């Protein structure tokens, strides 16, 4: 690309692989109640084995497995009932050859026993005598003391957002606080003399309410960030540079909405160049070509197109992965998806990533088209289909993966 149109243009694949600022958010300790979806800064290991004692997984009878060998409906085994284990208490009775102890699910396995036979395969034929009609192998119906987690083993890894089962496992191990990365602070700056706050009741002709900032704040929060609405900056020379200078020190990521194209009044590139280094200006993506990526003293900056649909599409493809990386996440959680068949042909250009909004009905993905200034295209969509960079399009009837909006 030459002239003023774009410079250092990159594909989205190149951007995701190459634009990797080293900045990471600081670390803080949080209680488990506040740790869901947070990213651990280091692996958390088990101080003790889990569950910590051999326990029954079924209601039944603790036995020596050898005493059940050969048992069947026609030729049962018979053992003496020696006592019972109470939940939450240490057994007061041991299993001897030819004996058994009644067990609740989760009860501590008594000494001498190496298995638990399910109550469904037993009967008390007379007081104190238990009939067994199915054999059980050693270890059957039992969880070992360290079968869930061995002492010193990793409970949760670093760099993966914590899920609800992770919190349960940590609680079981007695871990009540976790060292996690702080939520990235994302300053969102809107630009343009025509942009006014959403609360303006009657915008003047030519003015538009700032819809993009609110939507971007939602995307930031959805990716675990802390959005900070940094206001609207007009087109006067020097204004954006001044605002960037204000917000950069307290931010982990700065997003500038609009002003990244090549019009004579667009100030983003010049202002960013004054406070940082532009990595690329222009992405091979549709919609969203006029996108700017920069490193401002270690703090990444994204300059988004002015059209709302384009801005949100680009942030989803580039900004969200970057945001997870800033929070120390090595394995971002996958988005929900579904397989569907395309209802019509989709044309594309090789070397460009096309993001096509679709509705999904009865396994058929129907593309939605409209100007990139229309947010309603996104609100009507169930998700989107990616036409990969090497492809020149997709044929009607092709099976595609639809990334679904939550």
pLDDT at position 3, please?
Answer: 38
pLDDT tens for 222-257 read 999 999 999 999 989 899 999 999 999 999 999 999
Map residue 341 onto helix, strand or coil.
strand
pLDDT at position 244, please?
Answer: 97
Q: Which CATH superfamily is domain 10-26+182-326 in?
A: MoaB/Mog-like domain (3.40.980.10)
Domain 55-143 has CATH 3.30.565.10: no
User: How much of the chain exceeds pLDDT 70, in percent?
Assistant: 96
pLDDT at position 343, please?
Answer: 97
CB 250 within 8 A of CB 182: no
Map residue 333 onto helix, strand or coil.
coil
pLDDT at position 330, please?
Answer: 87
Q: Which CATH class is domain 27-50+147-181?
A: alpha beta
Q: Which residues contact 101 (CB under 8 A, 6 or more apart)?
A: 61, 62, 81, 82, 83, 84, 85, 91, 93, 95, 110, 113
**How would DSSP label each residue in 61-83?**
EEE-GGGGTT--SSS-EEEEEEE
Check: pTM over 0.95? Answer yes or no: no
Domain chopping of the chain, boundaries: 10-26+182-326, 27-50+147-181, 55-143, 337-404
pLDDT tier for residue 263 given thresholds of 50, 70 and 90: low
pLDDT tens for 274-324 read 999 999 999 999 999 999 999 999 999 999 998 999 999 999 999 999 999
As separate numbers, helices (DSSP H) first and strands (DSSP E) second, the chain gives 8, 29
Neighbours of 204 (CB within 10 A): 8
pLDDT at position 372, please?
Answer: 74
pLDDT at position 266, please?
Answer: 64
Neighbours of 397 (CB within 10 A): 11
CB 214 within 8 A of CB 198: yes
Fold classification of 337-404 is Beta-clip (2.40.340)
């Amino acid at each position: 690309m030459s002239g003023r149109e774009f410079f250092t243009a990159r594909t989205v694949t190149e951007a995701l692989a190459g634009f990797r600022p080293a900045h990471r958010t600081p670390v803080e300790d949080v209680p488990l109640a506040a740790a869901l979806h947070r990213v651990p800064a280091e692996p958390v290991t088990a101080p003790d084995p889990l569950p910590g004692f051999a326990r029954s997984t079924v209601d039944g009878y603790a036995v020596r497995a050898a005493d059940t060998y050969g048992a069947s409906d026609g030729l049962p085994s018979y053992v003496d009932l020696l006592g019972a284990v109470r939940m939450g208490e240490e057994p007061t009775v041991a299993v001897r050859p030819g004996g058994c102890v009644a067990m609740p699910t989760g009860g501590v396995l008594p000494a001498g026993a190496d298995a638990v036979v399910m109550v469904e395969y037993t009967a008390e034929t007379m007081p104190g005598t238990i009939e067994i009609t199915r054999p059980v192998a050693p270890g059957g119906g039992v969880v070992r003391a360290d079968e869930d987690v061995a002492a010193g083993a990793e409970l949760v890894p670093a760099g993966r957002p914590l899920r609800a089962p992770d919190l349960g496992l940590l609680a079981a191990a007695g871990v009540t606080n976790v060292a996690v990365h702080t939520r990235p602070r994302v300053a969102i700056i809107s630009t343009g003399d025509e942009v006014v706050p959403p609360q303006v009741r009657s915008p003047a002709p030519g003015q538009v309410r700032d819809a993009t900032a609110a939507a971007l704040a939602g995307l930031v929060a959805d990716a675990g960030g802390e959005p900070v609405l940094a206001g609207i900056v007009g087109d006067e020379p020097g204004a954006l540079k001044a605002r960037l200078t204000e917000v950069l020190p307290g931010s982990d990521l700065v997003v500038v909405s609009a002003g990244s194209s090549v019009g004579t009044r667009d100030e983003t590139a010049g202002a960013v160049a004054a406070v940082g280094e532009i990595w690329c200006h222009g992405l091979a993506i549709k919609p969203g070509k006029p996108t700017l990526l920069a490193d401002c003293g270690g703090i990444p900056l994204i300059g988004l197109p002015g059209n709302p649909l384009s801005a949100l599409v680009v942030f989803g493809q580039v900004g969200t992965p970057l945001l997870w990386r800033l929070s120390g996440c090595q394995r971002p959680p996958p988005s929900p998806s579904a397989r569907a068949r395309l209802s019509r042909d989709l044309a594309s250009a090789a070397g460009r990533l096309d993001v096509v909004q679709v509705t999904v009905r009865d396994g058929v993905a129907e593309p939605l088209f409209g100007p990139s200034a229309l947010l309603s295209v996104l609100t009507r969509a169930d998700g989107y289909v990616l036409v990969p960079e090497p492809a020149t399009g997709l044929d009607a009837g092709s099976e595609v993966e639809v990334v679904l909006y939550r």
